[in-house]
Structure 1
Amino acid sequence: MTAGFEQPDGATPLKLEELRGLKPAWITSRRDLDEAEEANILRGLAWTQRARGDGLSEEFVLRLHKQMFGDVWQWAGTIRHRETNIGTLPHQIRPALRELLDTARWWREQRPFPIDEIAVRLHHRLMQIHPFPNGNGRHTRLMADLLVEELGGDPFTWGRQNLVAAGPLRASYISALKQADDGDIAALLAFARS
């Protein structure tokens, strides 16, 4: 069942247990999956225009993921239960997520950084936590876009292309994330506006 679902570099590999959670029976390849997820993400984006409540709450984080991927995956909006190639250990995800959201609310109120940096720091830390089995990058980029808009800025452009597919743009994004892991957020800030 995993044949045809090759992951681009830096992506969390889908395991058989996650693939069993596919809802549409017509999905048989990575291309089919990307198309189904993209359509679902557009519906999730529309949902954000109607959503109410704090965008920096655990409930919102989970609900947004469900809105973005719930037509494709049964487990959408559910914290992952297995270790992955990156991310916090499963039993530490909720505490790490709560701590990040508390910190991000403080950033939102106190503005210790420029607004782009606040949103990119949220994105980066969410990527480190990696709360879901799949879709973390797309989810966390949208979280950053929503926060920067709430703070009065424009949504990020994230290279102006699809970051799901392997290629030089995705490699630049992964490199910027790794630099941020090492404490240098400048490349990720630049990439977000590229």
Structure 2
Amino acid sequence: MNYIQGQTALDEEEKEGLLISTITTRAELDEFEQLNIESAIEWTLHKKLKKEQLLSESFVKKLHQKMYGNIWKWAGKFRKSEKNIGVNYYLISTTLKILLEDCLFWIDNKVYEPEVIAIRLKHRLVSIHCFPNGNGRHSRLMADLNRIDPLIAFAQS
């Protein structure tokens, strides 16, 4: 696979995690991933989660798995290799926990407007780079969920 500048390259073991053997081009991969992401978005629309559930490691992993689980074996599992971006792979869980706790604090203490919380969450989540791939799309969906979540709006009142 060819990567566009700025995309995170997969190592050989991660590439072997492709579940659909008929995919031969980047365009085909993009199409299958987009269909899976749309399904994950629909899944989120039927969820009523408390902020503590939404801002948990288990939800972060579950959302990634829903977004890429029909495409990649490693979907929803933290990366086990170093990348050109992100924290060291062995620090992912700890760094993510700090981010999620910060987010809960911002909400509970009305530190920022909901849109600012969403932006800060997205930025820090993508900079952690939890997964082998799909981090940008995953972090944008996490930010969207946190921006529109009624609990955040409630915390602002």
TM above 0.5, one fold?
Answer: yes
- In the TM superposition, 1:1-194 aligns within 5 A as 5-53=1-49, 54-150=53-149, 151-152=152-153
Amino acid at match of 1:117: V
Q: CA deviation at 1:52?
A: 4.3
Amino acid at match of 1:18: E
3-state SS of paired residue (2:17): coil
Q: CA deviation at 1:50?
A: 2.2
The percent of aligned pairs where both chains have the same amino acid is 43
Separation in structure 1 between the aligned mates of residue 4 and residue 40 of structure 2, nearest angstrom = 23
Higher RCO, 1 or 2 (CA under 8 Å, sep at least 6)? 2
* Deviates most, 107-116 or 56-65: 107-116
Amino acid at match of 2:131: F
Separation in structure 2 between the aligned mates of residue 147 and residue 44 of structure 1, nearest angstrom = 15
The unaligned stretches of length 5 or more in structure 2 are none
Separation in structure 2 between the aligned mates of residue 52 and residue 149 of structure 1, nearest angstrom = 12
Q: CA deviation at 1:107?
A: 1.1
CA RMSD of aligned residues (A): 1.0
The unaligned stretches of length 5 or more in structure 1 are 153-194
Separation in structure 1 between the aligned mates of residue 44 and residue 107 of structure 2, nearest angstrom = 19
3-state SS of paired residue (1:112): coil
3-state SS of paired residue (1:14): coil
Separation in structure 2 between the aligned mates of residue 90 and residue 48 of structure 1, nearest angstrom = 27
Q: Which ranges of 4 or more aligned residues in structure 1 deviate by more than 6 Å?
A: none
Amino acid at match of 1:56: L
Q: CA deviation at 1:51?
A: 2.8
Separation in structure 1 between the aligned mates of residue 94 and residue 16 of structure 2, nearest angstrom = 28
**TM-score relative to the length of structure 1:** 0.74
Q: CA deviation at 1:85?
A: 0.3
Separation in structure 2 between the aligned mates of residue 8 and residue 44 of structure 1, nearest angstrom = 24
Amino acid at match of 1:12: T
